[in-house]
């Protein structure tokens, strides 16, 4: 998504997840949604932190993957300066990445053993 003329991308890294957990009740990332119960201001600022942490995750990953790349940090102040439709679109995109990157995918192969060989 474009924010102030630059493309913003997201990645859920360990650091990003830690930053998000730090603002959660009891430091528990699973309690992020509870921040919405604390009022509009708190929930919107928390969402901005989530956006910035995931954007920083992407930028820092790129820095280490591409020698010479200079990360372009997105700040909470910049996110909160957006109009509401832009802000909501950015938050929605970040939340989707947050959810997708949390899913565990494991490729497995059938286990070979006596029962598997007998079935063949």
Q: Would you say 29 and 21 are in contact if contact means Cβ atoms under 8 Å apart?
A: yes
pTM of the prediction? 0.81
Residue 110: phi and psi, rounded to 5, are -60, 140
Instruction: State the Cα–Cα distance between residues 63 and 69, nearest whole angstrom.
Output: 5
Q: Would you say 76 and 48 are in contact if contact means Cβ atoms under 8 Å apart?
A: yes
Beta bridge partners of 3: 6
Task: Sketch the domain layout of the chain as residue ranges.
Answer: 2-119
| pLDDT, one tens digit for every residue, the chain (120 residues) | 999 999 999 999 999 999 999 999 999 999 998 998 899 999 999 999 999 999 999 999 999 999 999 999 999 999 999 999 999 999 999 999 999 876 655 555 656 655 555 555
Q: Which helix (H) or strand (E) holds 7?
A: strand 6-7
């Amino acid at each position: 998504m474009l924010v102030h003329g630059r493309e913003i991308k997201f990645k859920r890294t360990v650091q990003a997840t830690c930053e998000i957990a730090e603002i959660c009740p009891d430091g528990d990332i699973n309690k992020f949604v509870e921040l919405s119960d604390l009022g509009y201001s708190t929930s919107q600022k928390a969402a901005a932190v989530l956006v910035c942490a995931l954007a920083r995750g992407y930028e820092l990953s790129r820095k280490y993957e591409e020698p010479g790349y200079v990360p372009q940090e997105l700040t909470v102040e910049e996110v909160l300066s957006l109009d509401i439709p832009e802000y909501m679109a950015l938050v929605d995109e970040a939340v989707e990445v947050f959810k997708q990157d949390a899913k565990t995918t494991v490729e497995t192969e059938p286990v070979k053993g006596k029962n598997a060989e007998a079935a063949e």
